Amino acid sequence: MRTAIFVFAGFGLLLLLLLLARAFKPNIAGAARIAVPGFIVLWALVAGVNMWIGVTQAGYALMEELPIFLLIFLLPTAAALMVKWVWR
């Protein structure tokens, strides 16, 4: 359940950053060009902190947390890259 919450939070953060970029840059392609790289960096940090908490505080092994990290990171990142590709 926690993984699903993180994945949906990633989609929400992507949407928020796209809307903010669109508010400051009326061209949607320009907004995606600004928001997507920033989202990927920010989301990598969030997913990495989640993995670090899972390993250090929850007691999971790194190899147990790695697939969860990849799922949490790659699904919203793939959506962000698709948005950038469609709105280029």
pLDDT digit string, tens, across residues 21-35: 888 888 777 778 889
Number of domains in the chain: 1
Consecutive H or E run containing 84: helix 62-86
Span 55-61, mean pLDDT? 93
Q: Which domain does 45 fall in, by range?
A: 2-86
The dihedral formed by the CA atoms of 47, 23, 30 and 48, expressed in degrees to the nearest 10? -10
pTM over 0.75: yes
- Whether residue 87 contacts residue 26, with contact meaning beta carbons closer than 8 Å, is answered with no
